[in-house]
Structure 1
């Protein structure tokens, strides 16, 4: 691959992807709103750019083969805040990719696109959209945009519905954990699979209690290795009995399924951030 672009490169997950993605291409371009990113690879160029600026995205993706799109607000927020980066920003990426004749968009979607489904339903990649928040609604919009651009314009997309990519620090994560190694493996497969068309895949590790089914995404060759069961006994003992009537415990979206629209869901996740970002 000659040129690969990563948006959201200064974010928590984007920072983990920069190094491995730089090895997959001749020219690696990372982008975000930060003034700079540390520890750049020899073939990496950083471009400060706003994903709500279509002209800037067209320029950013010029000459690229693919774009890995992680740039967005990563939490529930009022619609007025999400509209630009999460909704319109998705459009600018797909439109810029189309104008530059890219082959594929690899997109950081989320379990929150289907967050109001119950965890006991064990949903597959063909589950109907059922967002839990405005944030989840933005993921639904981007997935439908990806489907539209594939059907009408032949632009491939892999939409990765990431569950919980952080340390296992709560009962929900025993099932929903996506380790950083498995995240990297997932993104690499989304890039290297020869033909994807429009594909959806759940970003989850090989957890004994994983509440989603990737059986219909086998063409991507994603085979996660890590398992959160090693943390289960300690986590369950710490959390104690869970309320079976609380949507945060019973639905895929976790706290996002319980908060009022516009209010942070991340604030209730009890995330351990000791190793969730590289500096």
Structure 2
């Protein structure tokens, strides 16, 4: 590819994607609202831009072959805060992609688009939306937007329903963990698969306790390597018995299924913010 665009480049996941993506195109344009993202990789250029500004996104995306869209508020928040970056921002990315003839958008969706399903129900990529938060609702909007832009305007999309891409610090993550190495592989397969149309795939490693089914997206060639079971003995010894009355333990969305709308889900989680520094 000549040009690849990465939104959300200043975020934790974006920090791990920048280097491998810079090797997949002549030019990687990384973008975020932050003033900077540290030392740039060879072939990488940084542009500060607001997802909620269509003109700004159009300028960033012009000439791109594909867009890897990871930019957004990454937690539950009031609708008014989610609206700009997560909903309007998604529209702006796809509309700019259409206007400039971009072939495909690879989108960081989330398990929270279907977070109210019971964890004991192993769900596939074709289940109807069942969001657990306003944040999850915005992911549903973007997935439906992606399908519409494929069916009406021919812009391909791969929506990555990421489960837990962070260090394993609790029992839920024994099933939901996505290692950074598997994240990179997943995004690479979403980019280099010859044709995708509209596709949903779960972002999860090869965990023994994986609660979702990716068989319908097997054609992408995503073959995760890591398994959270290596952490099981330590994690389970540190936690007490489960509570079947707790939605955080009984739903796919974890703590997001238990918090009130507009209240942070991440505040209930022990996330290690191990951003890759350059």
Using structure 2 for the length normalisation, give the TM-score: 0.99
Matches within 5 A, 1:1-279: 1-273=1-273, 275-279=274-278
Deviation at residue 271 of structure 1 after TM alignment: 1.5
- Please tell me whether the aligned partners of residues 166 and 276 of structure 1 are also in contact (alpha carbons under 8 angstroms): no
- 8 Å contact from structure 2 (residues 206, 227) kept in 1: yes
Displacement, 1:172? 0.5
Asked whether the 8 Å contact 2:108–2:161 carries over to 1, the reply is yes
In structure 1, how many angstroms separate the alpha carbons of the residues matched to 2:145 and 2:195?
A: 19
**In the TM superposition, what is the alpha-carbon distance from 1:240 to its structure 2 partner?**
1.4
State the distance in 1 between where 2:84 and 2:13 align. 20
Deviation at 1:36, TM superposition (A): 1.1
- Structure 2: distance between partners of 1:138 and 1:276: 24
Q: 1:278: how far off?
A: 3.2
Unaligned runs of 5+ in 1: none
Q: Distance in 2 between matches of 1:134 and 1:229?
A: 31
> Deviation digits for residues 117-154 of structure 1, max 9, x if unmatched?
01111000001100000000000000000000000001
Q: CA deviation at 1:277?
A: 4.2
Shift of the 75–277 alpha-carbon distance from structure 1 to 2, 3 Å rule, reads farther
CA RMSD of aligned residues (A): 0.8
SS in 2 for 1:123: coil
Please report how far the alpha carbon of residue 111 of structure 1 lies from its aligned counterpart in structure 2 after TM superposition: 0.2
**Structure 1 position 219, deviation (Å):** 1.1
Structure 1 Cα separation of the partners of residues 263 and 96 of structure 2: 31
**What's the secondary structure of 2:147's corresponding residue?**
helix
Task: Give the Cα–Cα distance (whole angstroms) in 2 for the partners of residues 60 and 276 of structure 1.
Answer: 24
CA drift of 1:233 comes to 1.1
| Conservation of the 8 A alpha-carbon contact between 1:12 and 1:278 | no
After TM superposition, the score normalised by the length of structure 1 is 0.98
Distance 1:122 1:277 in 2: 32
1-side partners of 2:131 and 2:145: how far apart? 16
